[in-house]
């Protein structure tokens, strides 16, 4: 028996929902108001690759009651408060994690993966949060958590697309290199060495910015030693 697994595209997802909605509701629902609301929710979900946020749906003038009926009818999974995911698409773990925990930034080996600075897909997600942030729920979910003073939390913050095409917040290459040096005792040596080499090979590397970050994060002396060997 052959099992074919594929990711449902937004267009295919829309087609499926419209078809299913027509079959189920055509005889039981009169008028176009409900179908218009249904169409709006479908479009919102499709734009989010199968993800619905209550706040976004309500902002379009759709009631929580209508959303609840839609979620129940189409078996959307509740990811966290106000966030639901369609059962017809692959779940983007990176995107969903940051939707649930918007005060996180992907860092270290997870940032390396999203920046194409390593070929190894991380076994667990790694994020950085502000000092004092209660990350118990993240650790319980198997997420590796680093914390840093709020003055440096947004230093080098950038955006990248996940393999599913959703945008998430990460640190740029320069900040990521500094983070790897700061946390080198907790990083596999092979990943650390490969990341340093990959950075040096990047055409868009910014050594001036790298040294600026390194000074702020107090890893400039260690960085200089690595650069002496690599450059």
Q: Which string of DSSP letters, residue by residue, matches 124-177?
A: S-EEEEETT---HHHHHTT-EEEEE-HHHHTTTEEEEE-TTS-EEEEE-HHHHH
3-class DSSP assignment, residue 83: strand
| pTM for the full predicted model | 0.81
Structure tokens at 231: 């450059």
Which residues are CB-neighbours of 200 under 8 A, at least 6 positions away? 230, 231
The domain spans of the chain are: 10-85, 102-230
Tens digits of pLDDT across the chain (231 residues): 333 333 455 555 554 555 455 545 554 554 566 667 888 898 888 888 889 999 999 999 999 999 998 899 889 999 888 999 998 888 899 999 999 999 999 999 999 999 999 988 888 999 999 999 999 999 999 999 999 999 999 999 999 999 988 999 999 999 999 999 999 999 888 888 899 999 999 999 999 999 999 999 999 999 999 998 887
CA atoms lying within 13 Å on the CB side of residue 147: 10
């Amino acid at each position: 028996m052959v099992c074919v697994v594929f990711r449902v595209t937004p267009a295919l997802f829309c087609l499926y929902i419209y078809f299913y909605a027509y079959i189920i509701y055509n005889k039981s629902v009169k008028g176009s108001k409900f179908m218009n609301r249904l169409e709006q929710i479908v479009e919102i979900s499709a734009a989010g690759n199968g993800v619905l946020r209550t706040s976004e749906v309500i902002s379009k003038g759709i009631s929580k009651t209508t959303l609840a009926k839609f979620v129940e009818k189409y078996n959307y999974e509740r990811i966290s408060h106000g966030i639901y995911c369609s059962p017809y698409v692959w779940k983007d773990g990176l995107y969903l994690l940051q939707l649930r925990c918007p005060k996180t930034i992907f860092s270290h080996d997870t940032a390396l993966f999203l920046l194409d600075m390593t070929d190894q897909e991380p076994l667990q997600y790694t994020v950085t949060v502000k000092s004092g942030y209660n990350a118990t729920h993240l650790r319980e979910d198997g997420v590796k958590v680093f914390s840093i003073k709020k003055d440096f939390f947004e230093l080098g913050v950038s955006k990248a697309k996940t393999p599913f095409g959703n945008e998430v917040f990460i640190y740029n290459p320069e900040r990521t290199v500094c983070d790897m040096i700061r946390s080198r005792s907790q990083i596999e040596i092979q990943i650390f060495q490969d990341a340093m080499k990959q950075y040096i090979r990047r055409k868009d590397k910014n050594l001036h910015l790298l040294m600026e970050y390194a000074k702020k994060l107090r890893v400039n002396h260690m960085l200089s030693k690595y650069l002496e060997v690599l450059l």
